[in-house]
Amino acid sequence: MTERILAGRYRLTEQIGMGGMAIVYRAVDLRTGHNVAVKVLRPEFNEDIEFISRFQREAEAASKMTHHNIVNLLDVGMDNENRYLVMEYVQGKTLKEVIQERGKLTAPLACQITIRILSALEHAHRNGIVHRDIKPQNILVHADGHIKVADFGIARIADSSTLTRGDNVMGSVHYFSPEQARGESAQATSDIYSTGVVLYEMLTGRVPFDGDNPVAVAMQHLHATPPPIQSIAPDVPQAVSRVCMKAMEKNPSARYQSARDMASDLRMALEERNERPDPSFNIKQPKPQIEERKEKRSASSRTDLPNTLRKGRNIILIILLSAVILTGVTFGGIAIYRQVMTSVKVPEVVGMTLEEAEKYLQREELYVNPVYVSSDEYEAGIVFLQNPLPDTITRKGDTILLTVSSGPVSVPMPDLRGYTYTDAVTRLQALNITRITVERVTSTEYAPDIIAAHSPEAESPLSREMEVTLYVSGGEIIVPGLEGLTLEEAEQKAKEMNLTIAPLLQYVDTESETEHGHVSAQSPEEDSRVMQNTAITLLIYRCSFMNPYSEITITVPESDKDQTVKIMIQPEGTSTEYEDANITWTAEAERTRKISVKRPDNRNYTYIVYVDGIQTDRAPLPLE
């Protein structure tokens, strides 16, 4: 991959992992020179405000956890539209890779690894964090044998995936608890179930349930009994097998209720067989305390010594012992003095601005490492978490991790121009935006009830507590300019603006063939303000050289009174009628009359006869 620098600090050197939510890179922290792992959220989640809110809340929770068996969260941030997490980089393999290489692990080794996973879970559960995605792919084995659990704090989000999302979920569903398979919320006992599945896989080299698709595997978690461990790996102690199967009980209340209880039973199971860890796989453990060896001396050798020599030696021993005690007290006092002089109680800085917190901590000779996290509860720049906690005793010169609000969780404002009001509100509600106001505006570009503009503008940062104003076209309409358009173009433009064209067209003669059929004038004029469905009267150019007259004979019905006759013409396929002032007369004795009708253009027309406003005849207008 081409190297790039994220947030001006992290140089991404290579891609080392990919999941359903994020892509993981190995990177170098340009400030410290240390290798780190950077997890960048996939672009398709950048506009999902609910997803981002969960992502940020879990990142906040993860920042509170510090444990030797947990991959520590170092930083959270956003670079342009790329949201990312920075974690410590663990040089080694995943537990899944170890199992694939070895086939299965010895019972002592599997138990030791599981105990360390449970140690991490116990710490997380005490902090109110449920992992939800315990699996060998999330267990990192350092080159020196140290065990680290990864993806704390963000696994909660992955649980919102359905069982149809393909390979990413397929990898997790083998370790789902039955309640997760039912779509219920995961609890601490769900993590214990998943840990039992991981232990089962380490002991046997295979997962307890498998299938062609995620749904098939999930159904087995709900209803099937896993094959007995001894049927696959007969050398596994029965006590270890019982612990594993209890962790995988279908009913959460029948499982271990805490990670500590399960770890305790595993230790007892190891002690029953006096098992030792596999020497070929070095699991990092705390160094045992060295017991003092008592030197044995024979009673006879002591009694053979002369009394005076024994007394002399006793005096020497007393002197030496006093010197040792005095030296110990002196150096111990110095050590205690140094410890007291270099120790400091961590002050509380939550609620301060970052600048205030830095000054306050500097007085105690403590350094600050700020981590910026979006928050809907705290204003930008306010410290809302600290690690270590207030009143913790630490050393001067230590670094305090401060979680600082970078402001509310935000997504880019979508461009809603051209949307109907209903569709625009639906789109905003999908982003959890509920504070929506509406203002009516006049517009020459948008029809009524269409969004003409909005505030904030498109691509501006948008958070759930912000108010969005939609400017909806409606009420009065600004009349568009129709002059110079053809009749068809004018009709289309008027329709788009919720206006109509008056059916009675008027004409003005022109000798220009290019002007023929185009709008000469309009009423109301351009930029006038009118209501919806207002009819616009058009004056159309008509070229006499292009439109010959057609002669027709009109016969009106018999009547004992005068009748007003009017001739209208209409282009075929339209509803617009044209009137010629020369073909209106009052019929008296003359019931039949030949008249000439001038067509506006070369289209086919129909003429319509009205007598006293009632249609009496309709026929095609002949071409001369």
Q: Which CATH number fits domain 340-408: 3.40.50.261, 3.30.420.40, 3.30.10.20, 3.40.50.970?
A: 3.30.10.20
CB neighbourhood size of 96 (10 A): 17
| DSSP 3-state of 241 | helix
- Average pLDDT for residues 497-502, to the nearest whole number? 86
Q: Is the pLDDT of residue 265 over 60?
A: yes
| DSSP state string for 126-158 | HTT-------GGGEEEETTS-EEE--TTTHHHH
478-543 belongs to which CATH class? alpha beta
CB within 8 Å of 408: residues ≥ 6 apart: 374, 375, 376, 463, 464, 465, 466
Among 229-243, 347-361, 472-486, 599-613, whose mean pLDDT is lowest?
Answer: 599-613
Phi first, then psi: give them for residue 424, nearest 5 degrees.
-65, -45
Catalytic residue among 75, 133, 151, 265: 133
pLDDT interval class at 120 (50, 70, 90): very high
Task: Quick: pLDDT tens for 351-386.
Answer: 899 999 999 999 888 988 887 776 767 788 898 888
Top mean pLDDT of 38-47, 133-142, 539-548 is at 133-142
pLDDT interval class at 344 (50, 70, 90): confident
- Average pLDDT for residues 311-320, to the nearest whole number? 52
Cα separation of 303 and 309, whole Å? 11
pLDDT interval class at 276 (50, 70, 90): very low
Any alpha helices (H) in 161-258, and if so which ranges? 167-173, 178-181, 188-204, 214-223, 229-232, 238-247
Locate tokens 């129909």: which residue?
A: 606
Q: Is 617 a catalytic residue?
A: no
Any alpha helices (H) in 25-106, and if so which ranges? 49-62, 95-102
92-272 belongs to which CATH class? mainly alpha
Name the CATH topology of 1-88. Answer: Phosphorylase Kinase; domain 1 (3.30.200)
Pick 564 or 267 by higher pLDDT.
267
DSSP 8-state class, residue 252:
G
- Average pLDDT for residues 534-546, to the nearest whole number? 81
Cα separation of 592 and 598, whole Å? 19
CATH number of the domain at 413-475, please?
Answer: 3.30.10.20
Cα separation of 170 and 157, whole Å? 16
